[in-house]
Each structure stands twice: as C-alpha cells, then as structure tokens.
C-alpha cells in the first residue's frame, strides 16, 4: 500500500518539473507522455514510476487504471499536468494566425483541446490537489468542448471540477522565486481539501509571496543574475572548434560561420547585432533596427534599416542575407543575435537556445551562444540529480536536451511553489501561522 503524498504527472516530457514534485515530498506513481524519446529520459531518472507512453486521448483509461492500482484504495494527492503550449504561446499563436489567414488551419488549435482528456482523468481520479502549468496566453485561449461549444480553457477547468474545488490561475515570474531566468508561466492550483479551501477563502491564492525581486523590499532578495550563475565557467569562443569546447561535460558551443561570427563579435554588451555600427570607420550614427506592428497586429521588422554605413559605405556587421543576388537586412525578430545582460536573469530558455538567432541567447561578453552546461545552471538543473540518458543508458542527443529544457519550467522555482502548497495542505507552513495571526501581507490584499 502506498503511503504519504502521491502524484501523477501528465505531459511529462523529460520530467524536469517532476524533479520539483519529487523534491517536495511526493511519490510519483504514474506518468504520461506522447513522445518516446522524452519519456525514455524520464524513466531513466524515475525508474519506479509507471510510464505510459502515447496519445493521452487513447491512454486515459490506462492512466486511470494504473493509478488506481498503485494507490491501492488510497486517495491521490496531486495531479500535475503541463499540456503542450504551441497553440497558446506567442510564437505558436503568431504561426497559427498566419495559417488561419492562409486558409491552412482551423481558427481554434486542436492541441489546446488536450485539456479535455486531462480533465476527464482529473474527474475520475479526484486528486486532492490539481496543478496545471502553461504559458500566460492560456488565460485567453478558447477551445471547443465536447459539445462543440467554444469556452475559455480556465472556465472549462472550473466547470469540469465543479464546486468541490476552489482555486485560480495566476501568472508567475520565476525570477521572483530565485531562478536566474525570466520565465513567465500561468500556474493554476485547485484543491478540494478542507484545509486548503479554508486557506483559499482567507487568502485568495495558493501561491507563495515572491522571494526575490528586481527592486527588492526588506522581505525579498535581489534577482539572481546570469553573472551570479555562470561567471566562473571557462571562457569559450565560437571562432573555431578548438576554442569552442572545454574539458567540462556539456560546456561546449557550436562554431559560428565567419559572417555570423563577424556580426556577434561586433555586438556590444546588452545590444543586438541588428544595431551594430560601422566596423570600418567607427561611425556610430547609423539608424538602429526597429520593429512595429502592422494593421493586422503582426510584428514586422523594418525593411529600411541600412546595411551599409551612411558615412563610408562599408557593409555594417548586421544580420543579412542574399535575396536575388542582393544582400539585404535579414528578416526576423530584433532580439535575434542579441547579447544577454550579465546583471539580470537570462531570458527564457527555448528549444533554440543553442542558436545565435534565438532571442537574447548570445553570451553577455564572449562571442558565442550559451553552452548546455550554462543552460543547466540557468534552468536550476544543477540543484537536482538528473541524467541525460535514455532507456539504453546512452547519452541523448543535444537536440533532445534542448527540447526537454525548452518544454519545461525551472524546477527550483516550481519547488518553492510546491513546498508552499504542501505546507498549506499539511498545516505546517510559516504562511499558515501568519494567516492565523493576521500578519500575511502578500496576495490577500487583492
């Protein structure tokens, strides 16, 4: 018979978030993930968990029956679900909008309907606590329910759970919980326990107050920065293979071709290569690159940004490409080929973190992108035991590593949230004492 806190994980990917679930004291019983390569990495790190690989629509019965079998008549404490966000995120929504206008996709992304089997599982397992994690855009995302009626995802969640559950969704900045990465996510927490319902009635939230801030108060620490996190690692340079690697595992970077290296090496700290000035004559007055939203609300970069110096005529070290025999400024986000700020948290790590053209992913000072080792630290993976190996025991490809990181949230930040939730659930938290004394100053003011 299982005792203690129990949990089930849906849309597990490689199990990065589940590191926090386990560290917060939960025993994971069952996990579900569509992609075999992700789930193999999970199973390597969570060998005692029943891993069900496949489409959640088809695997719902197996997930429920496996969970009930392992619970042995006990109640499930936590259902933790992180449905895919491609249909909700800013990047995904932009692509979707373009596809809709081109007549290539329905206006409502089918991937967002994965919330339907999620809630079916929740209704059958009746967890004491339900936690959903997704991008902030989930708040405004519509789906078609099983009757074909459009409904906001969060309204659907509340409707399916019914009046026994209380909770809400809130946007969390993970840098506010001591993570050296600015990553905003929508965290939704619902519960049906008497203790947590009482807490929610009094306080109005299940999330802990921020522990860190850009402008900290007396109760908060300063944000953890990129410098704090990776400054001690050996320098690398993407000019050639010899300078692009070190003896440390995963501390290596791709070599940049000569043109890209020229752009990056001329990019000042905190700036983007699209704004680079003349490397030939030193003139600093060439207009910078801008992006504006057009009449359809789509962000478009200027096509009039100069590629040649207005003073001497030399080509500027700005991202460019050949178009019908003529070199022109490259289309893309102005945050591409941009250096990260050393004294702030990093931007959100995506699956493209090893590409200089990805948003704000050039090293703050060195001429290269981030190494995977640096990404591990910025994602707080260095605070947990984790192996990047699959079922065979072999190390997985770098692409899989990037995919898993990009699909997950920093586990140290999630652990802060889960520790707080467990404290409320068990009645053993400083916040509980403060509430009872009437001293809780955070969220309850709202």
Closest residue by Cα to residue 127 from 165, 161, 164, 76? 76
Q: How far apart are CA 206 and CA 423, in angstroms?
A: 10
Closest residue by Cα to residue 317 from 263, 254, 253? 263
Query: Do the beta carbons of residue 264 and residue 238 sit within 8 Å?
Result: yes
Determine the pLDDT at residue 446.
41
Q: Please give the full DSSP string across 162-226, using - where no structure is assigned.
A: -TT-EEEEEEEEGGGGT-SB--EEEEEEEE-SHHHHHHHHHHS-SSPPPSEESS--TT-EEPPPH
Burial of 338 (0-12, 13-18, 19+ CB in 10 A): buried
Sign of the four-CA dihedral 130, 193, 30, 417: positive
Classify 268 as helix, strand or coil: coil
426-442: b (≥16 Cβ within 10 Å) or e = eeebebbebbeeeebee
Determine the pLDDT at residue 444.
42
Tokens of 404: 């898993």
Classify 260 as helix, strand or coil: helix
Sign of the four-CA dihedral 371, 91, 339, 332: positive
- Alpha-helix residue ranges (DSSP H) falling in 11-126: 16-23, 36-45, 56-71, 90-101, 115-125
Query: Do the beta carbons of residue 197 and residue 206 sit within 8 Å?
Result: no
Q: How far apart are CA 67 and CA 58, in angstroms?
A: 16
The pairing of beta strand 166-173 with beta strand 27-33 = unpaired
Q: How far is residue 332 from each of residues 196, 313, 324, 335, measured CA to CA in Å?
A: 47, 24, 18, 8
Low-confidence ranges of the chain (pLDDT < 50): 91-93, 296, 435-436, 438-446
Query: Do the beta carbons of residue 79 and residue 67 sit within 8 Å?
Result: no
Determine the pLDDT at residue 91.
47
Query: Which tens digit of pLDDT belongs to each residue from 88-142?
Result: 555 444 555 565 556 665 666 677 889 999 999 999 999 999 999 998 888 888 8
Query: Which tens digit of pLDDT belongs to each residue from 134-153?
Result: 988 888 888 888 888 888 89
Query: Do the beta carbons of residue 346 and residue 396 sit within 8 Å?
Result: no
- Residues 147/152/156/159 CA torsion (nearest 10 deg): -110
Q: For residue 47, what are the β-bridge partners?
A: none
Determine the pLDDT at residue 84.
77
The H or E element that residue 33 is part of is strand 27-33
| CA 446, chain centre distance (Å) | 27
Give 15's contacts (C-beta < 8 A, 6+ positions apart): 9, 31, 41, 42, 45, 46
Q: How far is residue 199 from each of residues 79, 164, 434, measured CA to CA in Å?
A: 20, 14, 11
The H or E element that residue 436 is part of is helix 430-437
Determine the pLDDT at residue 145.
87
User: Which domains are seen in the chain, by residue range?
Assistant: 6-222+409-445 (3.40.50.150)
Tokens of 399: 């692409």
At 53, give phi and psi (nearest 5°): -100, 130
Determine the pLDDT at residue 107.
63
Q: pTM of the full predicted structure?
A: 0.89
Closest residue by Cα to residue 240 from 220, 217, 257? 257
Query: Do the beta carbons of residue 244 and residue 253 sit within 8 Å?
Result: yes
């Amino acid at each position: 018979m299982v005792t203690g806190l129990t949990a089930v994980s849906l849309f597990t990917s490689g199990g990065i978030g589940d590191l926090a679930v386990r560290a917060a004291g939960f025993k994971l019983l069952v996990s579900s993930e569509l992609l075999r390569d992700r789930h193999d990495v999970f199973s390597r790190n969570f060998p005692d968990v029943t891993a069900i690989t496949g489409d959640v629509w088809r695997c719902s019965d197996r997930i429920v029956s496996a969970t009930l079998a392992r619970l042995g008549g006990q109640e499930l404490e936590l259902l933790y679900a992180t449905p895919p966000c491609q249909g909700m995120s800013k990047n995904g929504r932009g692509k979707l909008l373009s596809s809709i206008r081109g007549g290539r996709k329905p206006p409502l992304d089918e991937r967002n309907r994965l919330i339907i089997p999620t809630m079916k599982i929740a209704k059958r397992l009746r967890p004491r606590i339900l936690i959903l994690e997704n991008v902030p855009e989930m708040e405004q995302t519509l789906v078609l329910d099983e009757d074909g009626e459009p409904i906001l995802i969060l309204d659907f969640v509340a409707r399916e759970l019914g009046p026994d559950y209380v909770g809400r969704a809130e946007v969390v900045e993970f840098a506010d919980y001591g993570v050296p990465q600015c990553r905003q996510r929508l965290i939704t927490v619902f519960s049906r326990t008497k203790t947590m319902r009482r807490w929610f009635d009094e306080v109005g939230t299940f999330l802990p107050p921020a522990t860190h801030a850009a402008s900290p108060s007396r109760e908060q620490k300063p944000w953890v920065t990129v410098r704090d996190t990776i400054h001690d690692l050996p320098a690398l340079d993407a000019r050639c293979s010899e300078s692009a690697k070190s003896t440390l595992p995963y501390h290596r970077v791709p070599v940049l071709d000569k043109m890209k290296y020229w752009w990056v090496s001329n990019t000042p700290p905190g700036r983007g290569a699209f704004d680079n000035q003349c490397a030939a004559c030193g003139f600093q007055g060439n207009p910078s690159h801008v992006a504006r939203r057009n009449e359809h609300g789509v962000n478009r970069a200027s096509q009039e940004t100069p590629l040649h110096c207005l003073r001497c005529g030399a080509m500027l070290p700005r991202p460019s490409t050949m178009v019908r025999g003529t070199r022109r400024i490259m289309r893309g986000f102005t945050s591409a080929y941009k250096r990260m700020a050393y004294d702030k948290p990093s931007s959100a790590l995506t699956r493209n973190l090893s590409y200089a053209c990805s948003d704000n992913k050039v090293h703050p000072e060195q001429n290269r992108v981030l190494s995977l080792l640096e990404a591990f630290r910025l994602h707080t993976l260095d605070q947990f035991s984790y192996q990047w190996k699959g079922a065979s025991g072999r190390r997985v490809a770098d692409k899989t590593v990037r995919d898993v990181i990009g699909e997950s949230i920093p586990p140290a930040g999630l652990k802060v949230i889960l520790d707080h939730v467990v404290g409320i659930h068990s009645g053993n938290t400083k916040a509980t004492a403060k509430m009872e004394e009437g001293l809780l100053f955070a969220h309850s003011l709202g």
